[in-house]
Chains A and B, each alone.
Chain A
């Protein structure tokens, strides 16, 4: 394993071993942490982590290798995986590859052998930072300016599908707007027998309406929702015409399309243990979350929105519904994998489509 240096925009640096792909210098990206204790295979292939370096706070990673079924997409999207301790000698009956081999194959660096709790404390205290991985002997000061200057706004365009495609199913037809969709959202809809037509993030409402779909799903995805005005417009144009369900980035896009606002969070929510209160059912859901932006809580009513879910940790908005009940979205990931799933939110979508069809 080669030693490398991880440099943060605040000037801090960490020496680590690279068990993944050897690269002399990575691109700049954001560094965030997730507290999920399992599910590294899902994390590395979740498109929402595009242009992010992900620190796993759970210290031992790689234990059960990688299997054929738990991918969230066809390739890894994150820019580096950072762990305390990497396990090469994995053990699982379903495993067919080690984490290191997979990262190498897909040209993603994997860092280990550093104090990940220290790194996590830094991110928690200063908010998410820009970071870069460079050769061990690089001067940190030479990187500062570049790091501070870096921005990126093309996340969704990079990860969304370029062409539409169909996942056949016997029941309702769902147009899925792909902003960087996790495979498990599609699988969940399929489980309910939906026929899913996956559409690019910049489709027009005419294109969608032409599909004669029973409902529309706006997926999760990376980056700032304000970077995709075309998708916001799409939501606005479709709202009220057929049932819409949105997850994560799809949720933020919905809020913006209704005139509400979103803001960048300090270090975001990335974990699978966040308690969310379902205000309608008056119950707590333990949820998986992965977002760096959140919908502002003020004046939701003024924008014809109603708060349906709220975070028990920081009181942030976790779910909204339009007062006409045509669209509803959640900030967390109800599809599960990794993390717990909340099927009732999908069932609601199916029922909404049924109602509309019968009406």
Chain B
């Protein structure tokens, strides 16, 4: 059957904001889908609430709506646009759920919209536990035994029947939060009680545990005729029990025999055929390492995170092929876009290994529990490719952008085997370092495999790395030993450490010995067919396949590595636009990046793509191979900026702002001096090295002060300190590693925060618009709500901001993009930070102001002047529509994390709401960020002493709108003194019959306000309250300004009534 002729206009739903478990992979999938549809002459309508995506660019879809992803808004889009079809399988779980809701609400039928790529029946069969169970029984496929329990006793009975351990998953909590694995009755009691608390229907699912099995995934694709293939299979190195999103994963599987591989393959194909899915699908299975027993874990009837990984690992574009299938094509009618010659029905064959490491957020989201479990916690991931696993592992750790770039960890390497043995049994983000520490001390790999339940095959790989390490230590500057080490992935930097020399010396020795990597092609077919894809990885082997010859000049664009809190999808957005513009200027764009989830690593985008660690050696090797005219670093976030120094030192030409100038911005003293010179205000600050110095500094600056370690990102370990006691506290609790570098103490300036992104061409600047924060300074810019155009900034202030921006651009010789953060306090404009690069706010500005500043900046970097690009103003006039950006958090995914907002960034993504008035835009932003807006109900108020006064006006307004006020004892009496009548409610820890917990259980709360100063001691009680609120999706605020904004929305919607 050729293309289905009745499909003319398709609605595609995006996945919304980036949250843990749903990240950039859906932008990658969505973009592929939209482009494939357009290529077929189909009109595409796209809805997504996330502005920081390529899919929401107007050249990707014909009509783009950045609106909240709710059925109300989708229905509006459907009525307006009248699409004939809806493609729901590319927007993650969000897109799929919305499609189901639209269907069951009858909206699709009413508007004659067909679901394509999947039908409701198959989604239900895959997603509904009961139906799935039935289907598996029908197919005679094994799944773990399970039951639903409403009480601890029921859970207990089931557990004693099937035996421990068991898995507990609370029903209907967001993202399955509150689940876990219980090994005994005590743990069961604890998890079940907590789970029942969190579950709005007081229900948990208890399941037989198959922890310790091999976890295997198959990415399958099926067409309209039921013809199905496996694109890729993957083995999780962490066994079942650790979410696949957090596991180290290798493609293809390493420890399955052919018989096992094909048994699971057949099962996966049988399932997709039985489900009747036309498109991509992910099947997770568990294989007993000691018998032929296997289980089906789950099926995701849609394109998933794993399919993005599988696409990048194999070169097979799953989302694109799925889309073609959805519009009626079958596998035998589609050519493999990589080889252009073989059929899309060929299952890819790999001749390398592809390794995924998860990027976990524990460096930013402080929790005392970094265990990996059945709930995904990673924010991003990296891909490392080589022809042996050792090299893939070593590339992976270099790519991950964590403290250690090698499998050595000062803390664990100092510990005894005894200490390590007890730690290593728990799967954490640190486990692999513990394993290496033990092997380094001679611990038996077989015993280690037993302790960790990690297959000994992989432990032997680690052991081999240690062997090579020892060999290097014993044989300094031995070329044969070096050759061997390079083949297995050791970096010059690591070798330099073992040889007690410098990286430069090792590099020189290596290069004079003629030892350099070659680049191998990823072609989906293991060289069986000739292919000309420009998708490469490095290997120390004999034949190079990446021909550096070209008729065009080349420019290397550095990507931004794994997504983590503070450096998200926004940088991929900027990178992609830079690549396109470099190409539009007649250059060949060469991209280096390692994030498999992104659009920038789509091998169809750049002229050449290298998957490589973003560190000096790997990047430099590629640059030396390609010989570009220059390298663009300013769109790849801090990752790329950090490479600037090294590249400059090696004589590589940086295009855009030069390293010396970047340095002057990032070096605090030079920066201060620069600002002083151009007479720009900055909050006063001091650099200190001890508590004593800090105390003196704070006294002279006057409290409150802002304290933070130097050389950190995303406001790491940053706190607002209001008095000496807190300062002592801060120093006592600060992680020791921060004391290597000075500590910064700044005057805390309380005011309105503004942000500017500007393009500078060396003589003029262009600012597309100012962004005003809704929360006052003190909430990290990434976590605050913000509005464009500004609502409170006067014309004089705006002019001053423009003037300062110009001055800074000139003083620091900025060429390209720059981001400046300002605080306006009492009419005075302070600069708090300058980032000489693209920033988080760039996509928001591009979408709201319609000025593509990445495009402009790229042209400027390539030598054009703003005036020649049609820019003749410094500050673009404001748009009529008002847009509000709201942060989105993933607190429900991390065990007992404290969600208080402060100067340390915690959000994972953002949404945008646009409308004709500020209130309406705010409303959409709240909705889009999944804030449940209630016009009646109960509000729980708690405030620390210094903040009590600030909540009074808010409490009054809530009361005036008819809300029931609840407050803890001291807050309540304070409110009473101010004429309010809150109901006093006992704290959870109080010995009382009725506490806050009961309020939650009875569903009496619609909003929770927990306003405490940034440096007050965290009370366990408050953390629990916030956690319950989050798990039940009850809006929970810690900033007065956010609540005020919410109240604005309520009032604007007519919530307030007045008697005459």
- Chain A residues at the B interface, C-beta cutoff of 8 Å: 33, 35-39, 41-42, 57-60, 63-64, 67, 69-70, 84-85, 87, 89-94, 114-118, 120-121, 124-125, 271, 273-275, 277, 282-284, 286, 312-313, 336-341
Q: Which of A59, A91, A284 contacts B255 (CB 8 A)?
A: A91
B545: chain A residues within 8 A (beta carbon): 117
Contact sample, A vs B, 19 pairs, CB 8 Å cutoff: A33-B527, A33-B528, A35-B525, A42-B258, A57-B349, A70-B258, A84-B351, A93-B289, A117-B387, A117-B520, A118-B542, A120-B526, A120-B528, A271-B349, A275-B347, A277-B332, A283-B227, A312-B343, A341-B262
Smallest beta-carbon distance A187→chain B, Å: 12
**In the complex the two chains form, is B257's CB within 8 Å of A90's CB?**
no
Q: Which of A58, A67, A115, A274 contacts B346 (CB 8 A)?
A: A274
**In the complex the two chains form, is A284's CB within 8 Å of B350's CB?**
no
Smallest beta-carbon distance B445→chain A, Å: 8
B387: chain A residues within 8 A (beta carbon): 59-60, 84-85, 117
Residue of A nearest to B341 (CB): A313
B541 within 8 A of A: yes
**In the complex the two chains form, is B350's CB within 8 Å of A124's CB?**
no
Smallest beta-carbon distance B834→chain A, Å: 47
**In the complex the two chains form, is B346's CB within 8 Å of A282's CB?**
no
- Do A275 and B289 form a contact, CB below 8 Å, given A60-B388, A92-B257, A336-B262? no
**In the complex the two chains form, is A39's CB within 8 Å of B349's CB?**
no
In the bound complex, CA of A89 to CA of B528 (Å) = 29
**In the complex the two chains form, is A93's CB within 8 Å of B351's CB?**
no
**In the complex the two chains form, is B256's CB within 8 Å of A59's CB?**
no
**In the complex the two chains form, is B350's CB within 8 Å of A92's CB?**
no
A91: chain B residues within 8 A (beta carbon): 255, 455-457, 460
**In the complex the two chains form, is B456's CB within 8 Å of A338's CB?**
no
In the bound complex, CA of A91 to CA of B349 (Å) = 23
B970 within 8 A of A: no
In the bound complex, CA of A35 to CA of B230 (Å) = 15
A37: chain B residues within 8 A (beta carbon): 252, 261, 349-350
- Do A275 and B345 form a contact, CB below 8 Å, given A92-B257, A312-B332, A338-B258? yes
In the bound complex, CA of A285 to CA of B252 (Å) = 21
Given contacts A59-B352, A120-B528, A275-B331, 10 further A-B pairs with CB under 8 A are A35-B351, A36-B258, A39-B257, A41-B258, A57-B528, A115-B543, A120-B351, A271-B528, A284-B345, A286-B345
**In the complex the two chains form, is B225's CB within 8 Å of A313's CB?**
no
**In the complex the two chains form, is B346's CB within 8 Å of A59's CB?**
no
In the bound complex, CA of A277 to CA of B389 (Å) = 36
> Which B residues from 278 to 293 make CB contacts under 8 A with A?
289-291
**In the complex the two chains form, is A273's CB within 8 Å of B266's CB?**
no
Q: Mark B979-1001, 1 if CB is under 8 A from A, else 0.
A: 00000000000000000000000
A312: chain B residues within 8 A (beta carbon): 332, 342-343, 345-346
* Interface residue SS majority, chain A: loop
B265 within 8 A of A: yes
**In the complex the two chains form, is A124's CB within 8 Å of B346's CB?**
no
B353 within 8 A of A: yes
**In the complex the two chains form, is B257's CB within 8 Å of A275's CB?**
no
In the bound complex, CA of A41 to CA of B347 (Å) = 21
**In the complex the two chains form, is A41's CB within 8 Å of B257's CB?**
yes
Smallest beta-carbon distance B1005→chain A, Å: 53
Residue of A nearest to B391 (CB): A85
- Do A273 and B346 form a contact, CB below 8 Å, given A58-B526, A93-B289, A117-B527? yes
**In the complex the two chains form, is A85's CB within 8 Å of B255's CB?**
no
**In the complex the two chains form, is B349's CB within 8 Å of A286's CB?**
no
**In the complex the two chains form, is B261's CB within 8 Å of A118's CB?**
no
B70 within 8 A of A: no
B229 within 8 A of A: yes
Q: Which of A38, A60, A69, A90 contacts B256 (CB 8 A)?
A: A38
A89: chain B residues within 8 A (beta carbon): 456-457, 460, 463
Smallest beta-carbon distance B394→chain A, Å: 15
Q: Which of B266, B455, B456, B543 contacts A121 (CB 8 A)?
A: B543
In the bound complex, CA of A41 to CA of B343 (Å) = 28
In the bound complex, CA of A340 to CA of B258 (Å) = 9
In the bound complex, CA of A157 to CA of B530 (Å) = 36
In the A-B complex, the 8 residue pairs with the smallest Cβ-Cβ separation, listed nearest first, are A39-B258, A118-B543, A91-B457, A275-B345, A89-B460, A57-B526, A115-B542, A338-B258
Q: Mark B238-259, 1 if CB is under 8 A from A, else 0.
A: 0000000000000011111111
In the bound complex, CA of A67 to CA of B292 (Å) = 13
Residue of A59, A90, A121 with most chain B CB atoms under a 10 A cut-off? A59
B742 within 8 A of A: no
A41: chain B residues within 8 A (beta carbon): 257-258
B343: chain A residues within 8 A (beta carbon): 275, 312-313
A93: chain B residues within 8 A (beta carbon): 289-291
B348 within 8 A of A: yes
B175 within 8 A of A: no
Smallest beta-carbon distance A299→chain B, Å: 25
**In the complex the two chains form, is A58's CB within 8 Å of B227's CB?**
no
B348: chain A residues within 8 A (beta carbon): 273
Smallest beta-carbon distance B339→chain A, Å: 10
B226 within 8 A of A: yes
- Do A59 and B351 form a contact, CB below 8 Å, given A84-B387, A121-B543? yes
Smallest beta-carbon distance A345→chain B, Å: 16
Q: Mark B543-571, 1 if CB is under 8 A from A, else 0.
A: 10100000000000000000000000000
> Which B residues from 444 to 483 make CB contacts under 8 A with A?
455-457, 460, 463
Smallest beta-carbon distance A284→chain B, Å: 4
**In the complex the two chains form, is A90's CB within 8 Å of B457's CB?**
yes
Q: Which of A58, A64, A94 contacts B349 (CB 8 A)?
A: A58
**In the complex the two chains form, is B257's CB within 8 Å of A58's CB?**
no
Q: Which of A115, A118, A275 contacts B332 (CB 8 A)?
A: A275
B351: chain A residues within 8 A (beta carbon): 35, 57-59, 84, 116-117, 120
Residue of B229, B527, B529, B541 with most chain A CB atoms under a 10 A cut-off? B527
In the bound complex, CA of A338 to CA of B593 (Å) = 36
In the bound complex, CA of A277 to CA of B261 (Å) = 23
**In the complex the two chains form, is A35's CB within 8 Å of B526's CB?**
yes
**In the complex the two chains form, is B225's CB within 8 Å of A273's CB?**
no
**In the complex the two chains form, is B543's CB within 8 Å of A117's CB?**
yes
Residue of B227, B259, B455, B463 with most chain A CB atoms under a 10 A cut-off? B259
- Do A63 and B252 form a contact, CB below 8 Å, given A41-B257, A115-B541, A120-B351? no
Residue of B nearest to A283 (CB): B227
In the bound complex, CA of A120 to CA of B521 (Å) = 13
In the bound complex, CA of A64 to CA of B456 (Å) = 11
**In the complex the two chains form, is A340's CB within 8 Å of B542's CB?**
no
Smallest beta-carbon distance B400→chain A, Å: 22
B258: chain A residues within 8 A (beta carbon): 36, 38-39, 41-42, 70, 337-339
**In the complex the two chains form, is A337's CB within 8 Å of B259's CB?**
yes
Smallest beta-carbon distance A78→chain B, Å: 16
Q: Mark B376-399, 1 if CB is under 8 A from A, else 0.
A: 000000000001110000000000
Residue of B226, B253, B456, B526 with most chain A CB atoms under a 10 A cut-off? B526
In the bound complex, CA of A52 to CA of B289 (Å) = 34
**In the complex the two chains form, is A63's CB within 8 Å of B457's CB?**
yes
In the bound complex, CA of A313 to CA of B349 (Å) = 14
Smallest beta-carbon distance B464→chain A, Å: 8
Q: Which of A57, A69, A87, A337 contacts B527 (CB 8 A)?
A: A57
Residue of B258, B346, B349 with most chain A CB atoms under a 10 A cut-off? B258
A337: chain B residues within 8 A (beta carbon): 258-259, 262
Residue of A nearest to B253 (CB): A38
B352: chain A residues within 8 A (beta carbon): 59
B460: chain A residues within 8 A (beta carbon): 89, 91
Smallest beta-carbon distance A74→chain B, Å: 18
Residue of B nearest to A91 (CB): B457
B463: chain A residues within 8 A (beta carbon): 89
- Do A118 and B262 form a contact, CB below 8 Å, given A41-B257, A60-B389, A67-B257? no
In the bound complex, CA of A84 to CA of B527 (Å) = 14
Q: Which of A114, A277, A340 contacts B266 (CB 8 A)?
A: A340
B346: chain A residues within 8 A (beta carbon): 273-275, 312-313
